[in-house]
Amino acid sequence: MFVCIHNDDLCFENCGVNEISFNKAEGLLSTIGLSISIVALMITMSIYIIFKKLRNVPGKILVCLVVTLMIGQFSFLISPFLQHFEVWCQLIAIVTHACFLSAFCWTNIMGFDLLKTFSRPTRVAVTSKPNTHLVLYAIYGFGVPVLIVSVAVIFQYGLATATIDNYRPNNGQYICWINSKMGLVVFFLCPLALFTLFDVVAFIATCVFIARANKEGATARGKGKTCTAVINLKLAFIMGIPWALAFIANITNSTSAADVLWIIFIVFNTLQGLFIAISFLCTRKVLQLVKEGFETTFSTSKSTTYSDVPPS
């Protein structure tokens, strides 16, 4: 993770693991990608809220992921305009930090819920209530980020000691984000690594259960390969691939391939909302619901118009 000032194309040495300077083209690409992603997330959230059939447990998990990611990306997008307002800059840094961590937590929850679904034998009845699952998921999805950010805030505004100073995040000191190397590692990169590790394990385990289920019931269903490919594609875009690219780009930073890797990282990371929208909106079920909704709305509007016409 690297933090740069867009206006001056400058990175502070204590902002990240290495010194990386993004040029204006990459900054513009990042701004465009974030804008597209936010719009796509808003559309996804609206559709999943409007249609009742989509408001099941996986749908509600997706909405929570979308909302936290959308707020985080929007906060990051407007942060350069708040650099000269110290209090607001610190506040937006804390909000961005919390929202990104929460988005990763809800990604964990999505992976766990999917793993739980495919690992359960088909004959086992589900006795627990969905609302109970949602409460537990919410405690993790919102509670863990609040805990991490609260500790970071205590380190920043608590008593000044030699130990605390080394890990102080310095939110808003230069830019509206974490401005210390150790603070970034402890309060963002380490949790991110743990969240991503869980995503990878859940992804692999889910693929194993899906493959096993398809193998056992291939003669009865005949749709195993297609379903596996679609689900794996959704998981791959959501579970940590952009950040894995960032880690690879950091390792190869001194090579000629680094610039290409950073461009790929910017595209995948800033357009994450668009990938989520494509994965979860471009399905037969959702498209059919949207089509029926438009047809119902159009028919109602047309009937109302005709009823308002006075008889001749």
pLDDT, tens digit, for every residue of 245-270?
766 766 666 566 667 777 888 888 88
pLDDT at 238 (0 to 100): 66
Residues in CB range of 174: below 8 A, 6 or more apart:
5, 12, 15, 83
5 or 258, which is more confident: 258
Q: Does residue 187 register a pLDDT over 90? A: yes
Does some domain include residue 126? yes
Does some domain include residue 119? yes
Question: What does the DSSP 8-state code read for residue 56?
Answer: S
pLDDT at 23 (0 to 100): 65
Does some domain include residue 291? no
Q: Which residues of 247-269 are buried (b: 16+ CB within 10 A; e: fewer)?
A: bebbeebeeeebeebbeebbbbb
230 or 261, which is more confident: 261
Work out the number of other CB atoms within 10 angstroms of the CB of residue 140: 15
The pLDDT mean for the chain works out to 79
Over range 102-124, report the average pLDDT.
81
CA angle 260, 263, 266 (to 5 degrees): 150
Residues in CB range of 247: below 8 A, 6 or more apart:
none
pLDDT at 14 (0 to 100): 42
Q: What is the span of the domain harbouring residue 192?
A: 14-281
Q: If you average pLDDT over each of 8-17, 112-121, 132-141, 213-222, which comes out highest? A: 132-141
Q: Does residue 21 register a pLDDT over 80? A: no
Q: Does residue 159 register a pLDDT over 90? A: no
Contact predicate 273/37, CB 8 Å: yes
Does some domain include residue 287? no
Q: Which residue has the tokens 């894995």?
A: 244
Q: What is the CATH number of the domain that holds 66?
A: 1.20.1070.10
Per the structure, the count of domains in the chain is 1
Does some domain include residue 242? yes
Question: What does the DSSP 8-state code read for residue 52?
Answer: G
Contact predicate 15/22, CB 8 Å: no
Over range 162-179, report the average pLDDT.
85
Does some domain include residue 67? yes
Question: Which of 10-14, 25-29, 32-36 has the lowest average pLDDT?
Answer: 10-14
Does some domain include residue 288? no
Contact predicate 104/191, CB 8 Å: yes
CA angle 251, 252, 255 (to 5 degrees): 155
Does some domain include residue 2? no
Over range 103-131, report the average pLDDT.
76
Angle between helices 86-119 and 130-157 (to 10 degrees): 150
